[in-house]
Every structure is written in C-alpha cells, then in structure tokens.
Structure 1
C-alpha cells in the first residue's frame, strides 16, 4: 500500500516523517486515579488484562430524569451497557454515569476533533435551508420527549392516528431487535417523510416558535425514538440485518435508527461483551469522514485516526491520545481479529457543508501505531483492510467520480452525450456487455410533444407573484391549488405524494428559478444509459440521489387512447407509459401520529388524474424511456400540472423513492392492465415476464 500513513515492517517508508513510532499495544493502560489494580508481575504477550476495579458509587436519579425516554442523540454517545459491565474493562469506569442521567456534551461547544473522527455538528445538516448548526439539541430533545409524555398522559385512550391505526406505526415488534430489509426500509422512509414535512412546515412558518427546531433531522429522529420506531436494537459485531453494502445515508441519525452505527456524533461505536469468564470492550463500527488523512490510494484500505484531543487548548500544552473508550475498543478488536463495520463519509456535491455516508462493508484491523500530529501530540493510527468477496461500494463511488470528471478511460464507452446538448448535464452511453453500438434511433426531447389540454373545474392561469413564490404565502394561487402547502422543500425535495401537484408554469409571473418549477428544469444528476445483461438498455446514476429528488419527466408523444384500444397500436410499443394501469400501492408520506401537533394535514397518496394519459417514447423521448421495470423500484411517478398558452397540461414526473447510491440502476413499476380481459386480447399480449429479481417480484408486468 502506498502513502505515508501506514507503517508496518514489510513496507519501505520514510520513517523520518513518523516521530516516535511505537506498537500500539506497548502503551500502558490509562487507569482511573485512586483505583487499586492487581496486575500480576509478568504479563502474557499482548496487552495486559484489566482486573475488577472498586465498584463505583451509585448516582441517584432525579425523579424527573427517570421519566425521560432514552434518546438517540444523548444516550447513545456511550455504549448501552450496565455500569457493572463497563467497570471491568473501561479505564474511565469509576466516572461512568448511568445512561438515563447522562448529559449530552452538545450543551457545550463541540470540538470537531474532541472524539477522533467526530464530525462537527454541522455535518448533519444535509441541504435543507430550514436547517442550521445549533448545538443545543440535547435539552431540546429531552423537552420534546417530556412534552410527548405529557400529551400521552392526558390522552391515554387516544389512538395514535385517530382511527385505531397505532399498530401500523413503526416496524413489526419481532423485528425490533433483529431487523430485515423491509423493516430497515420502513424506518428510513418514515424518518425521511417526517423530516421533509418538518422542513416544509419550517419553510412556511407554520410551526409555533416554542416548538420550532432548525435541525429537522434531529426532531424526526426524536419523534421515532419516542415512539420506538427503530430496528436492529440488538447491538452486534459484524453484519447488520437488512443493511446492504453500498447503502447510503444523508444523516447520521438514519444510521442510529437502523442499528448500523450507534453514535450520533462519535466516530467509533463500541460495546462491552462477555468472553468466557471475562468481559471485553470491542469496536462495532467506525465512521471515516475523510478529513484526517484516513483515505489511501487503495480503496480497500482505511488508515483510521483514533479519538481524543492531542492538544490541550486550556493549558496550552501538547497531550497524547489515551488508550481508552473507542481507542481501547479498536485495540481489543485487533487482538480478537473481530470484524469492524466501516462507513465512509464524502462531501455532498450539491451542498459542500454536508456529508453523505456509504456503508463500505466489513474490515479487519491489520496494524496499529502512534503518529505525531501537527500539534505534536500522539495520535493512534489503525490500518483496516476490507474483507474480500464483498460487493464493491466505496471503490465504485470513487470510480464514478473519475468517470464524471473524464479522468478515467472506460471499457465499452460509446458516446459522451446521448442528449446532444439538449440536457444541461451530459448523458453518457456505455455498453460493456456486447457489441451493440446503441439503442434504436429516437429524437431526444425533454418534455411532451403535442400535449393535449386537460379540462379542470377551475382552469389554472398562473400566479401573480412578483419574484419567486414564497412558502406559506396563501395569496399565491399556485399554493392555494396545492391546498396551502408548498410541494417542495427549500432544496427542491418533494415533500409528499399528492393526488396532483400544481407547479408554476410559463403563465405565472414568478421568476423562472421559482422553487415550484422543479420538474421543468431538466436533469439534476449525471446519468448514463448502459446495456444490461438481460433487460436491454437501462438507466443508472453517477451521483448519489436523496429520497424525494426529481429524476426526470417521462417525455414523449401523447397517444390517443381510443386508437390504442381499437387498433392495438401500442401492442408492440415497449416505451408506453399509461396512467390507467394498476400500480402496486405503497406508503411514502409521513405518519400523522408521529407528529401529533401537525397531524391534520396529510395528503392522500391516491392520484387524481383528470383523464387517462398515455405517452409513447418510442420515437421521441428522454432518459426516462430507458428506465426498466422493477417490482421493488427505487423511483416513483407523480402527476404534475401547470399552465401553458391559457391551457393546463398534465405531465408525469419521476422522483426518488429512497436514497439511491452511485452506479445504481433506476427503476420504476410499469404496472399492469386490469384483469378480466379475454384471452388473446391486446392486454394479454402486452404482458411480459419480469426479470427484476426482487424478492417481491410478481412475475410479470405490462
């Protein structure tokens, strides 16, 4: 491995750049003061064992504190183990405070280097302008939970959703301790739906100032924690059920809620375990933010910096990191040859102050040493090597970045821009499967060709806003048509599926960059059309995509429904989109019971389309024509209406159903026609065998 961060005997390195290099296990343990140890005169090879210390005094809990639920942002800053378990192995055991009396350090100024790979608290902001970097969320979360308990006490018999649906909130109780793919998806989608709704409310100033919080992700996490909407509560070494290598997260709290990484800020997650007759501290996962020189040229190697200060600003003197907490856990995991989960953090290209986290799989600690930091203090370094045979994740992301920048040659590369300049972001064409040089000829077009107007009870002739439409401005006619809600957050994320979304259009007086024109401005992510192994051409993204992000419009020619029914003109057209098909129902909007104070405005997810719309993209279309079918898709469609030339036109816009990692194929549900058609009818002929490979595959589509 190249680079000056890794040191072991077999490497040839410039050791003059590493001051006082020592094996990590040669360090003496840091023991609490006034604790009598009983180590033997000689230690076996490796790190000397700790023996039982004097039992610390119990700290009485205030009655008020006993009623406060444990919160992910406060309690999970330390391992969820009893004080008795912790005293055996952790040098700070004599000072351990019971978890429910634990005061979050975020009530004080947070030092981004105070906990090794700890991210500054602003790294949890991820794009919504309703967010700011307040660090006072510890007491706010406690206050929110206390308010929830008060409401619950006053309304003991009240059902959460108001109609007896409390059992539908959260995950199956059997999946609380050990999750699966379905429970993980449900928790993540529930979290993000609440976060989007809170951002919408904050943008429109609908929240009361006493309840307002700029960190919508923290309030969403708090709501789920208070209601017990979490999964994988059983802490474990190794694989976390339901989470796949390559999954991405836009907020740390998402990882906490699904059990991937239990620390809302700390870079090292660890716990105490029993190993025969003794107890040990082991590391579970690490988050590498890529800001401490952790990355190497080898994407399967991570050189991780330990946690703790190496410069005391108060006393103005250099200090060394201590072999305690996460550092001690990593050392013990190295001795035990345990697997450690690694989460990589990368800057969000759309918001440079935010991070996106990718689960990169299981690693093992191969080497460890001490290195002098810039301040002169000693820093623990750990070399983690990725276990072979795992799906490529971080390496694929880095490769996609090189392809975007044009700095890497590609196997099967055909064309730099399939759109021929129509899109502001180029769409590359790639085939590394066979010798086909490209799809059949078509004309690239960003929207509908020759659309037909749709009659409405109240025709839409545009709003009279002078600049841009402002969320919460009920004088805006477009906001009125959306039942008083602005459909998108400040960073253009769709808040909720609705029967019909009314966007501003060419007839509106607001500026062209109005946030209510999301579906009319073309691609936002860089994509490529590629040849699949068994499903023809497909579409995938080179960028990470957040849930609710606009993907593209389904562009093409509007087809007369009567001709399709009478002559079967669409039977051989593989590029037909038909709003009258049956689509698998799913829930994407927020649960009202999780936000009791704002539970009155939950839009229906059943589409209301003035009349059926059929679009053919065979001869004219955009990248939407290349999206394949899946019974478990990551994209969904939403009807959008806006006015042009004194008439209203319906469009089909696609949005991300969930977070989508780079190089993932984009798919949506093609739906199927109504049952009951006679054998040999056009409906039967259009049915095709499904090859999506999903666990929920229904076997056919069309």
Structure 2
C-alpha cells in the first residue's frame, strides 16, 4: 500500500527507483585492511603484507599502532598510585585519596565482537573533525575520532592525558590526580551486591540503575577534577567520554549483546543526557550514528536489520503526531566535501530491510533541555515499526531516504508527556484539574500549581507557604568563620578559597550546578562571604528552578512532581519550616501530628543512592524541622523505599550563628511528571508501641512500612 503525506513527503508511486540512485554494498564485502610494514623485506609474510598483530586493549602498542577507543588510557596513567599527595594546609587537598588503580580485568572482561554483540565495529562516514556527542553539554572537538558504535573498537589520535598539576601563586603544586585511580576509588566503595547484579548475563532494572549511577558519579567526579585543573590546561577532558571509556574498559555495563525489541531493565519513558549512557545500558550502541543495526542471516545471505534509531534534530525529521515519526536516513552530509546523495548502505540498508521484515525498532527522541538550552535530553519512546520508505529531495537538493515509523499500540506514554507539558507551557492547552495556578502566592520565582484530577478534594489542609527555614533560636556556630573574599564568585581554580578548603579542595557543584559527589556535608557560601548571590557555591539558595506541581495521588494523599526533566545531581528544593527541639518532636509525635516533621537523626538504607552509603549524613548537631503550619513544596514529597531524591545537610558560612539547612537533590535522571520521593528513614531503636505506617510506594524493594 502506498502512503501519501502531502507534496513534501511521500512521492507518487514509481517516481523514484531506489535501485538506480543508490549504491548497495553487502556486508560481506567489508574486509579488514592491514597496513604494510615499514620494511617489507623483513616480513615473513609471503605476500609482503603486514602480519596480523594481536594487542591487549591496554597495550603495550607496537610502533605506529594507536590504542582503540575507549582504551586510550595512557600507559603512564595505568601505573599504580600508592601514595597520597601531601599538600600544605593552605593548598588544595584532593577530595578523594589516591589508591591502587583497578586492573583492566578486575571487574569483568568485555564481550567479544561476535555477531549480534555490541562489539562489532563500523567506521564512521562523518567528517573526522566534529563534535563527538550531540548532547550539547560539552562541545569539544576531537581529531580523527573514528568510533561509530561506542563500543571501544575505533581509533582516536587524541594524546594520552598527563597527570594534572594545579597551578598556584608562588609556584605549582603537583596534584597527581590520576582519573583511573579516582575511578578505582569509586568502584572500591561499591557494595559487592552491585557487582553481582551487574554480572548477571541478562540486564535487570537494578543493573541498568547501578550502571547509570556509577557512570554519573564517575563522570561528575572527573569533571570536578578537570574543573579544578582548568588553569593548567590539564585533567580529564570530556569527562563524559572518559567515564564511559573507563567503564567500557572494565566491562561495567549491562545488556552488552544487541537485540531486537525491548531491552531488559530499560523502561519506556526513561531519559538520558549523554549518548554514552544509551550505549552502557544496551539501548543504542553507536556513540554518534543515529541508526544501530545487527546482521541477520536469511537462507545463505546475511542482511542488516535496524534495532534502534535516535532522532535528535541532526536531519530533517518530522513528527506528524505522537505515534508517527518521519525519519531521515543517514549520510549525505560531510563538512569537508559538502552534501551528496545518500546511499543504501549500512544504517539505511538496515532500515530498508527492516521495512520488509517488519521487525520492531526502538526509537529514542532527542529533545531540547529546558534547563540547559544548548543540551539535549534523550527520551526512550518505545517500539515502532517501519510502515513505508521512499526517497525525496532535501533542502540541500540531494536525495535522502525517508522512513515512516509508527508506534506500536498499548505502550506507556513517553514523548506525548513531553508534548503535553509543552502545550501547557505555551498555553495552547490547559492543564486538567488545576485548583490553584500558584500555590506559593508569588513567594517563589517559579509558580507551583495545585492539581487534582483524581477526586473532588479542593486542596491540602491549610498551611502558610514560606520558602526559607525559620530558626527562632539559632545556636552558636561550631567554629567561627569569616567566609571567603571571592568578590566575583568562587572559582574552582582558586585554591586559597576557604569554602573550597572546607569541601575537601573542590567546589561541591559543577559549572552546570550539579552536585559533584556525595559528601556527608556540603559547605556553601553564606552571609559571611563576599561573593554575589550568583556564585556557583550558593546553589541551594536560589529558590525553585523547576516548574513543580502539587497533585493528588490515587492512594497516598498529596504528592509532588515536576513538569521539567531533572538531571541526576540537580538541586530541587530545601526543606522549609520551623526548627524545633527534640521535646517538641516528642510532643507532636504523641499527638500523631508528625507527618510534616523532618528528623535528621533517622537511619537510612540508601541503596539507590550509593550502595556503600547506609548511614545518615553526619551533621554537627541534630536538626528537626516542622512544616505542619509553615512550609514549602518539600512537605509534599512522599516516602519511597526506592526513592529518586536524597537529602544532604548544607552549612552556609555564617560567623554569627549556625546556618544549617536540608537540601534535596535528584539521585538519578527523573522524567517529567514522575513523582518525587525520598526515603523517610526509620527511628532506631524502635520504641514499644511505636506506630508504624504502611508503605504504599509500590517499589519491588518496598519494606512494607516506615515510621
């Protein structure tokens, strides 16, 4: 059946003969090419060609042979770092101790490049000098980066990184920060249970979550090191690529075997901020190419079949509605040679074969990140089938392939949720069930709507909205502080900054305002500091940045969620309310009015945060906050035994009084309209007759109660 979409889409039947305009190359014609030796006469090869050389991924490499990506770690950086760096008190102290690097095979050996595995290699057709990732968060160019499948089987002429040196006034201090040693420290801190989960032959929800968690922690830590050494022009460039390279090197991944259809542990609606994340969980292997495929044998011929595509705006794709995608083929664009006709080979050939075979294709949509307009968010939109294909003229005047993909029915909504939020924002559609357009009555910079599309309840019990902590009896600070003198704002390379010293030698937040690591206590600039409100070490003081809504849940009362996607490590809100003492806690608890009390002394099992972290953060003194009469959006966050939000104590520099706050951060990437939850913890020891509350979080790890 021929499908028509107007004059600019599918042409009339017979207007193009695809076999005439395209150059078809079967996969079997791709043969390995070996370089000729520098001295052919000395070769034992009778044909005079270079003998096949098998090299370990970590080297050593013969002369003229470059390491394959992502095994581009220099031999120097593989050496064991056995001593901590000793630096004077007035100089930067590394946040993480240097320890023995994890050997390549200490975790799991990466799978081989067998048919259907992610290990298969395909050379990129794109320009050699280009931005490697199209995520927009790091637009660093790397020369001659030939990887297209993100599996560690390409070449990069990028020079090995030297150990970082931190430049200071009066001389330089060798920080000797080895990214591989940092990675080793992170891996050593993992609970052994995580390794058991990741070593499962098939993926699971836990293995996907842990893989992404390790990647995020490693990427942010390497980025923190790079940030601190930027003045010396050293450190881990592109921490997203470096973190992914280390994980691929050590086999820390899941779903390494390519497959058609659903990927175990990956759910429709999951979001990603880097292409390497897609590769590590087995959703889409190529780090650049938009089409992923495998070889499939039919009778005696092998043909490629598409398994997934990424539609991220690089080509002239078109979305007719939420369930139909008109996808443009790959190729035909080269920065050096200009545009040309696309050819029926590799990914394009795979899509054409899949159109005839009717196999399912995973679709990942790249959308603009509202919080970081230069970046993208990748949304897994589920399974599609190719219903039609044709060739048409692009704006460049050259022939491109077009494929019509239709979403299979019965799948959870993903991309359409994003479209709905966009329509609410643009006022082209109204949010159903809105009771109040702004629950905060203007107290916050961003309005928080109150919504009930479940029943007729008109809102929660009355309370006064305040956005800050109210401490009527502030205590004296544990230690006096004059704060920092960073008039223009704290800089990661200013190693004389006292606020940086208190955070272990690094700023706790990245340039994108993400929490760099999981410290027990975060020290922010405060009233004693001379830096402006825009200082990057005042992240929790800027108020709400996400468009949140308080909504009526089906069985848990009122809850909290966001219209915007939230990146892992992002500050969400603080817990506002009145600071009370322990006697007041006992009084309210006895009256069963403790639903809105935050208790910093509770015990937590935060396996979702970091498997080795099973204790509450260590703070200078217990903190109890009541949000029953006065509070902010944090009072509506429900409990979950598998939370997506964690809390951390934040101390703001103040010489006059103890300025302790409770801030909430995203544990992992949170899609729009997903409930925000944190673990309430338990009070130990349990008292006789202590009331336990039934947990309704619905998690597979649900403890059944909280108290």
TM-score (norm. length: structure 1): 0.80
Contact map agreement 1:519 1:653 (CA 8 A) in 2: yes
Contact map agreement 1:461 1:508 (CA 8 A) in 2: yes
| Residue in structure 2 matching 1:533, options 554, 566, 573 | 554
- Residues 1:423 and 2:444 are matched in the alignment: yes
Distance in 1 (CA, whole Å) between partners of 2:310 and 2:480 is: 53
**For the structure 1 residues 570 and 493, does the alpha-carbon distance in structure 2 shift closer, same or farther, using more than 3 Å as the test?**
farther
Structure 1: where are the runs of 5+ without partners? 1-7, 33-49, 87-97, 111-119, 148-158, 592-602
Shift of 1:135: 4.7
- Residues 1:477 and 2:498 are matched in the alignment: yes
Specify the alignment match of 2:23 in structure 1.
Answer: 30
User: Secondary structure in 2 aligned to 1:464?
Assistant: coil
Distance in 2 (CA, whole Å) between partners of 1:251 and 1:609 is: 34
Shift of 1:56: 7.2
User: Secondary structure in 1 aligned to 2:486?
Assistant: coil
Contact map agreement 1:456 1:610 (CA 8 A) in 2: no
Distance in 2 (CA, whole Å) between partners of 1:501 and 1:19 is: 64
- Render the CA deviation track for 1:164-204: whole Å, top value 9, x for unaligned: 77994974377464211111111111111111111111211
Distance in 2 (CA, whole Å) between partners of 1:537 and 1:567 is: 21
Specify the alignment match of 2:286 in structure 1.
Answer: 263
- Residues 1:701 and 2:696 are matched in the alignment: no
Specify the alignment match of 1:14 in structure 2.
Answer: 7
Specify the alignment match of 1:343 in structure 2.
Answer: 364
| Residue in structure 2 matching 1:296, options 319, 337, 352 | 319
| Residue in structure 2 matching 1:108, options 128, 134, 145 | 128
Specify the alignment match of 1:132 in structure 2.
Answer: 140
Specify the alignment match of 1:460 in structure 2.
Answer: 481
Q: Greater shift after overlay, 604-613 or 220-229?
A: 604-613
- Render the CA deviation track for 1:601-642: whole Å, top value 9, x for unaligned: xx9985221221111111111111111111001000000011
**For the structure 1 residues 141 and 458, does the alpha-carbon distance in structure 2 shift closer, same or farther, using more than 3 Å as the test?**
farther
| Residue in structure 1 matching 2:276, options 253, 263, 266 | 253
- Render the CA deviation track for 1:53-95: whole Å, top value 9, x for unaligned: 6987777544557655764699xxxx98669x99xxxxxxxxx
Distance in 2 (CA, whole Å) between partners of 1:700 and 1:167 is: 24
Shift of 1:142: 7.5
| Residue in structure 2 matching 1:184, options 192, 201, 208 | 208
- Residues 1:389 and 2:410 are matched in the alignment: yes
Q: How does 1:485-496 map to 2 (within 5 A)?
A: 485-496=506-517
Distance in 2 (CA, whole Å) between partners of 1:418 and 1:443 is: 10
Q: How does 1:226-237 map to 2 (within 5 A)?
A: 226-237=249-260
Specify the alignment match of 1:284 in structure 2.
Answer: 307
Distance in 2 (CA, whole Å) between partners of 1:484 and 1:590 is: 25
Contact map agreement 2:437 2:447 (CA 8 A) in 1: yes
Distance in 2 (CA, whole Å) between partners of 1:429 and 1:669 is: 23
**For the structure 1 residues 162 and 396, does the alpha-carbon distance in structure 2 shift closer, same or farther, using more than 3 Å as the test?**
closer
| Residue in structure 2 matching 1:665, options 671, 675, 687 | 675
Shift of 1:9: 3.4
Distance in 2 (CA, whole Å) between partners of 1:510 and 1:295 is: 47
**For the structure 1 residues 571 and 385, does the alpha-carbon distance in structure 2 shift closer, same or farther, using more than 3 Å as the test?**
same
Distance in 2 (CA, whole Å) between partners of 1:13 and 1:104 is: 34
Aligned length in residues: 623
Specify the alignment match of 1:203 in structure 2.
Answer: 227
Distance in 2 (CA, whole Å) between partners of 1:676 and 1:54 is: 68
Distance in 2 (CA, whole Å) between partners of 1:404 and 1:662 is: 13
Specify the alignment match of 1:655 in structure 2.
Answer: 665
User: Secondary structure in 1 aligned to 2:544?
Assistant: coil
| Residue in structure 2 matching 1:412, options 426, 433, 438 | 433
Q: Greater shift after overlay, 23-32 or 331-340?
A: 23-32
Provide the alpha-carbon RMSD of the alignment. Answer: 3.7
- Residues 1:556 and 2:572 are matched in the alignment: no
Contact map agreement 2:127 2:336 (CA 8 A) in 1: no
Query: With CA pairs under 8 Å and 6+ residues apart, which has the higher RCO, 1 or 2?
Result: 1
Distance in 2 (CA, whole Å) between partners of 1:169 and 1:104 is: 38
**For the structure 1 residues 587 and 214, does the alpha-carbon distance in structure 2 shift closer, same or farther, using more than 3 Å as the test?**
same
Specify the alignment match of 1:437 in structure 2.
Answer: 458
Q: Greater shift after overlay, 225-234 or 63-72?
A: 63-72
Distance in 2 (CA, whole Å) between partners of 1:253 and 1:357 is: 11
Contact map agreement 1:171 1:230 (CA 8 A) in 2: no
**For the structure 1 residues 691 and 22, does the alpha-carbon distance in structure 2 shift closer, same or farther, using more than 3 Å as the test?**
farther
Shift of 1:569: 4.9
Q: Greater shift after overlay, 240-249 or 175-184?
A: 175-184
Contact map agreement 2:600 2:616 (CA 8 A) in 1: no
Specify the alignment match of 2:98 in structure 1.
Answer: none
Shift of 1:533: 0.5
- Render the CA deviation track for 1:337-376: whole Å, top value 9, x for unaligned: 1000000001112322221100000000001111111222
Contact map agreement 2:263 2:282 (CA 8 A) in 1: yes
Distance in 2 (CA, whole Å) between partners of 1:51 and 1:345 is: 29
User: Secondary structure in 2 aligned to 1:640?
Assistant: strand
| Residue in structure 2 matching 1:306, options 329, 332, 335 | 329
- Residues 1:623 and 2:633 are matched in the alignment: yes
Q: Greater shift after overlay, 608-617 or 405-414?
A: 405-414
Distance in 2 (CA, whole Å) between partners of 1:187 and 1:141 is: 28
User: Secondary structure in 1 aligned to 2:134?
Assistant: helix
Contact map agreement 2:27 2:303 (CA 8 A) in 1: no
Contact map agreement 1:584 1:671 (CA 8 A) in 2: yes
Shift of 1:308: 1.3
User: Secondary structure in 2 aligned to 1:358?
Assistant: strand
Shift of 1:377: 1.4
**For the structure 1 residues 573 and 67, does the alpha-carbon distance in structure 2 shift closer, same or farther, using more than 3 Å as the test?**
closer
Contact map agreement 2:225 2:236 (CA 8 A) in 1: no
**For the structure 1 residues 676 and 621, does the alpha-carbon distance in structure 2 shift closer, same or farther, using more than 3 Å as the test?**
closer
**For the structure 1 residues 653 and 24, does the alpha-carbon distance in structure 2 shift closer, same or farther, using more than 3 Å as the test?**
farther
Shift of 1:588: 4.6
Shift of 1:460: 3.2
User: Secondary structure in 2 aligned to 1:334?
Assistant: helix
Distance in 2 (CA, whole Å) between partners of 1:66 and 1:175 is: 21
Specify the alignment match of 2:95 in structure 1.
Answer: none
Specify the alignment match of 2:642 in structure 1.
Answer: 632
Specify the alignment match of 2:347 in structure 1.
Answer: 326
Specify the alignment match of 1:677 in structure 2.
Answer: 687
**For the structure 1 residues 61 and 428, does the alpha-carbon distance in structure 2 shift closer, same or farther, using more than 3 Å as the test?**
farther
